[in-house]
Amino acid sequence: MKIKKYVADDFQVAFKQAKHEMGRDAIILSSRQIKKGGLFGFFASTKYELTVAVDDNIKIERDKLRTSEVRTRTVPAAAAVQEIKPNRVSEQESQLLNEMYMINNMLTDIKDKMYEVELIKGISEPVQKFYKTLINNNVDKEIALRMANQVERQLPAGKGNYDCLSDVCRHTLQGFLSDIAPIKLDKGETARIVVVVGPTGVGKTTTIAKLAANLTFLESRRVAFITLDTYRVSAAEQLKTFADIIDVPIKVVFSPADLKEAIADYSDRDIIFIDTAGRSPYNQEHMEELHDFLEVAQADETILVLSVNTTTPDSLSIYHEFNRIGVDKLIFTKLDETNRYGQILNIISEIKKPVAYFTTGQNVPDDIEVPDPFKFARMVMEKGDAYERPS
């Protein structure tokens, strides 16, 4: 077993150093504040000392088990039978390995919980409730901790002074959703080209219909549709139906040359929406095809549509694939299908792109809105009672 001490100005810094050097199997034995430096005991600064241990035997056994699992999965069945016959593992040994694997998983879970406890140790109990509210909303732990620390720093000095806690929590959440950028048309501007992209099933076509209807009826803008979605007959027919209802012209194009011609035909319109096919961003052939269309389009803005029901890692992966062709803004859809909105905070914290709209249902044109940071903060905080004044 290796044991090592780490000293830093901040607990989190010391912990990150320990985690980086000792690995994820490290266990915190103790943590304390100490005084270092100064002269004759005066002017000494406060430091955090972390004592960390790691058992190499557990790590080695876990790695062996993982290697064994990979080998078992990759060896064909017949070959696997031939391989284990000469060196048959006894039932007792197999059971022991399984128990060790389960114990290791339990230790990992315990260490993860200890890690979280240590991270929030210096935060007051009411702010810890705010942190847990964020976690319940699927906010990433590091982002939740950053926000909790930000709230803690803004609270007035003195224990029990939490009169403004609700306002501070709400203001902090609002700050994370401050970059709002709906579609804006300059006075006299014509033929503004807006391309809407995204994976299958996120609601791109319905979202475009909502935007077009609002721009047509509420802002008296002259709108045109172009759809590149020739893969799904239903999508093109759906957009044609919307176009007929709101009296908007539409063209279905099959090649970049057709797209160039369609844009020229609609050059007198205020705004041209281009609906793209919902395809997998991991299919390089489809992404190259989309790239060829967008080179011709020369869009004024490209908006990526993401569903809040998609996990944060998948959403970030989708963004990075589409960003190869350029993404200017985001639209989050299906807020009506969940009551956990942490993915939104995670994504905008990671990629730092403005948010144009939220959609909250299937109704056209009603269920779309420009994000309101105050309303969004209230929605997140309603998941728990972190903002309530402690009794």
Highest mean pLDDT among 41-55, 143-157, 183-197, 278-292 belongs to 183-197
Residues 245, 334 within the same domain: yes
Flag whether pLDDT at 312 surpasses 90.
yes
CATH code of the domain containing 312: 3.40.50.300
Helix/strand/coil (H/E/C) assignment for every residue in 99-140 = HHHHHHHHHHHHHHHHHHHHHCCCCCHHHHHHHHHHHHCCCC
Residues 218-252, buried b or exposed e (16+ Cβ, 10 A)?
A: eeebebbbbbbbeeeeebbebbeebbeebebebbb
Flag whether pLDDT at 35 surpasses 90.
no
> Taking a C-beta distance cutoff of 8 angstroms, is the pair 322, 295 a contact?
no
Does a structural domain hold residue 319? yes
Domain range for 209 is 192-370
Label residue 298 by pLDDT band (50, 70, 90).
very high
Residues 266, 328 within the same domain: yes
Residues 2, 33 within the same domain: yes
Label residue 30 by pLDDT band (50, 70, 90).
low
pLDDT value of residue 374: 92
> Taking a C-beta distance cutoff of 8 angstroms, is the pair 167, 246 a contact?
no
Does a structural domain hold residue 278? yes
Does a structural domain hold residue 186? no
Which range has the worst mean pLDDT, 204-213, 214-223, 227-236, 300-309? 227-236
Label residue 8 by pLDDT band (50, 70, 90).
confident
Residues 338, 209 within the same domain: yes
Residues 171, 221 within the same domain: no
pLDDT value of residue 90: 60
Flag whether pLDDT at 250 surpasses 90.
yes
d(CA 212, CA 239): 11
Q: Which residues contact 21 (CB under 8 A, 6 or more apart)?
A: 4
Cis before 365 (ω within 30): yes
Total structural domains in the chain? Answer: 3
Does a structural domain hold residue 112? yes
Q: Tell me the sheet residues that pair with 275.
A: 196, 227
Mean pLDDT of the chain: 79
Label residue 280 by pLDDT band (50, 70, 90).
confident
Residues 64, 7 within the same domain: yes
Residues 131, 25 within the same domain: no
Residues 276, 171 within the same domain: no
List Cα–Cα distances, 238 to 25, 144, 230, in angstroms.
Answer: 54, 41, 12
- Encoding tokens for residue 209? 């219909």
Residues 131, 217 within the same domain: no
231 compared with 290, residue with greater pLDDT: 290
Residues 255, 266 within the same domain: yes
d(CA 305, CA 291): 17
CA atoms within 13 A on the CB side of 78: 0
Does a structural domain hold residue 283? yes
pLDDT value of residue 17: 83
Amino acid occupying residue 296: V
Residues 351, 220 within the same domain: yes
pLDDT value of residue 111: 52
> Taking a C-beta distance cutoff of 8 angstroms, is the pair 348, 330 a contact?
yes
d(CA 360, CA 370): 11
Residues 351, 207 within the same domain: yes
Does a structural domain hold residue 83? no
Flag whether pLDDT at 249 surpasses 90.
yes
Element containing residue 256 per DSSP (H, E): helix 256-265
pLDDT value of residue 57: 57
pLDDT digit string, tens, across residues 138-191: 999 889 988 888 888 887 765 555 567 888 888 999 988 989 999 998 887 888
Determine how many CB atoms are found less than 10 A away from the CB of residue 120.
19
Query: Please, what is the end-to-end C-alpha distance for the chain in angstroms?
Result: 46
